[in-house]
């Protein structure tokens, strides 16, 4: 819950709930009804007075609704194997020229092609991305928020749905709702939601509903010459631009042009993030993260290095792929670097490899976009990781400003506050409020 005025910005966590995928047979799903229950419980705990609600989430995944608005099965997780090999059927250069989006294997386009002959898709009347689905359950209002819609690989760079592409691959264009912008009103809480939460008819406001779009609003940059790393399960590394970069060199370098708030472009590369460490800790049951980081700091730097974006590291351990530490060790063995054998060595390997990947992504972002970077802002959960922040400053040779940790929530709240008139201004004004109110830590390169 955000409390915002022109001189004040305070965030209070009122509720937190797990988001646990569920495997049913061979398919990995999201338990979206449990997420909806968590949202309702959180709203009930927030209580009155509440002026606005906004939802952001991860990208690309969706729910399918029938003509009555009923959900047709639980949404499938983007880490599910159903899209394996699907993107290879497409001309990536043509897709990039049309959409500006890097053809990643889990993009919505490829998920829909993988689902093309399923009964659910045959019965579907409407497709809603996850934050739009949850918003529709709160208000009954159906729309697709633009920043998240860009990640589907089904939105043309000109800003409209790519119906020609949909038709070419036998996807029904009428599945996709009208677009809306961050700051647009999305209706008020339904009477049934009011009864569940004890709230009145509170407005729901569209925000940058892709969490990285909200997180980039939450970057406390003092000028335009910044690079950002939104570091959580994934790391999104890039710069903010006024227009997309659609060159073949950009595509070959793995960059994507995702929508941002106020018409900006989030020019970025996806880098596997702290997922590698999270999955490793799942294998080391009971491991303490502070202890692991303290021990990792004592390890020799860059003794073990991996490609954090290697395909074999994408999926969770399902009994076939093996624990993440074993997969990391095997890649080190193939690359000829030291094979990590202890949790501390694996942790140091992950952090060293991420820092190097960040350096390469930021270097390429400057080269391809012409945008100078003088400061790196690292936001999200990774901002708590002092070793990762210092390593990033060291290998990039630039200062790293760490924080805020809850950048996505803060960016979400700021867009809502501006929409309802609690504050005014452009992105620079919103970021000035962040710098004045949020704790930040600066790491200088050694």
β strands within 19-146, DSSP E: 22-24, 27-29, 52-53, 62-65, 126-129, 144-145
Report which of 253, 238, 226, 281 is spatially closest to residue 427, judged by C-alpha positions.
226
pLDDT tens across 189-210, in order?
999 999 999 999 999 999 999 9
Residue 183 pLDDT > 90: yes
Q: What is the pLDDT of residues 350-399, one digit of tens each?
A: 999 999 999 999 999 999 999 999 999 999 999 999 999 999 999 999 99
Catalytic residue among 211, 223, 326, 360: 211
pLDDT of residue 376: 98
Buried b (16+ CB within 10 A) or exposed e, 402-430: bbbbbbbbbbbbbbbbbbeebbeeebeeb
Task: Output the six-digit token pair for 97.
Answer: 């020229």
Q: Which is it for strands 375-379 and 400-402: parallel, antiparallel or unpaired?
A: parallel
**DSSP structure class, residue 149:** H
**211 catalytic per annotation:** yes
Q: What is the mean pLDDT of residues 217-221?
A: 98
pLDDT value of position 118: 95
Domains (range + CATH), the chain: 2-205 (3.30.420.40), 211-446 (3.30.420.40)
Q: How far apart are CA 188 and CA 325, in angstroms?
A: 47
pTM for this one? 0.93
Taking alpha carbons only, the member of 259, 264, 272, 239 closest to residue 364 is 239
Looking at the DSSP bridge assignments, the partners of residue 22 are 29
| pLDDT at position 305 | 97
The pLDDT of residue 314 is 85
Percent of the chain with pLDDT over 90: 96
Reduced DSSP (H G I as helix, E B as strand, rest coil) percent helix, strand, coil of the chain, to 5: 40, 20, 40
Express each pLDDT in 258-298 by its tens digit.
999 999 999 999 998 999 999 999 999 989 999 999 999 99
């Amino acid at each position: 819950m955000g409390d915002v005025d022109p001189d004040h910005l305070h965030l209070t966590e009122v509720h937190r709930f797990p988001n646990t995928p569920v495997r049913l047979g061979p398919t990995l799903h999201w338990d979206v009804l449990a997420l909806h229950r968590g949202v309702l419980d959180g709203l009930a705990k927030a209580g009155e007075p509440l002026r606005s609600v906004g939802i952001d989430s991860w990208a690309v995944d969706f729910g399918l609704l029938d003509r009555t608005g009923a959900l047709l099965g639980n949404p499938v997780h983007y880490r599910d194997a159903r899209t394996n090999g699907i993107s290879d059927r497409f001309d990536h250069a043509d897709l990039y020229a049309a959409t500006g989006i890097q053809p990643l294997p889990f993009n919505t386009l490829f998920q829909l092609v993988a689902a093309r002959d399923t009964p659910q898709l045959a019965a579907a009347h409407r497709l809603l991305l996850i934050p739009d689905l949850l918003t529709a359950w709160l208000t009954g209002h159906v729309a697709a928020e633009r920043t998240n819609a860009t990640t589907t690989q089904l939105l043309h760079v000109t800003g409209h749905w790519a119906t020609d592409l949909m038709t070419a691959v036998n996807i029904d264009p009428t599945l996709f709702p009208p677009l809306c912008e961050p700051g647009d009103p999305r209706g008020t809480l339904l009477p049934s939601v009011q009864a569940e939460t004890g709230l009145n008819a509170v407005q729901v406001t569209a925000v940058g509903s892709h969490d990285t779009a909200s997180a980039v609003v939450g970057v406390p940059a003092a000028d335009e010459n910044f690079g950002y790393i939104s570091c959580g399960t994934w790391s999104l590394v890039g710069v903010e631009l006024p227009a997309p970069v659609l060159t073949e060199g950009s595509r070959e370098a793995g960059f994507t042009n995702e929508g941002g708030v106020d018409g900006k472009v989030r020019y970025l590369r996806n880098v596997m993030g702290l997922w590698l460490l999270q999955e490793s800790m799942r294998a080391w049951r009971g491991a303490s993260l502070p202890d692991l980081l303290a021990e990792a700091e004592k390890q020799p730097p860059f003794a073990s290095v991996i490609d954090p974006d290697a395909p074999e590291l994408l999926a969770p351990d399902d009994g076939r792929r093996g624990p993440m530490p074993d997969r990391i060790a095997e890649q080190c063995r193939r690359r000829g670097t030291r094979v990590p054998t202890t949790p501390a060595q694996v942790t140091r390997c992950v952090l060293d490899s991420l820092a190097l990947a960040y350096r390469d992504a930021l270097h390429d972002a400057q080269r391809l976009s012409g945008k100078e970077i003088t400061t790196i802002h690292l936001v999200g959960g990774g901002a708590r990781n002092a070793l990762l922040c210092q390593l990033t400053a060291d290998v990039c040779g630039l200062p790293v400003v760490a924080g805020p940790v809850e950048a996505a929530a803060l960016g979400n709240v700021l867009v809502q506050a501006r929409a309802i008139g609690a504050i005014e201004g452009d992105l620079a004004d919103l970021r000035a409020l962040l710098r004045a109110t949020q704790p930040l830590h600066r790491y200088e390169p050694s």
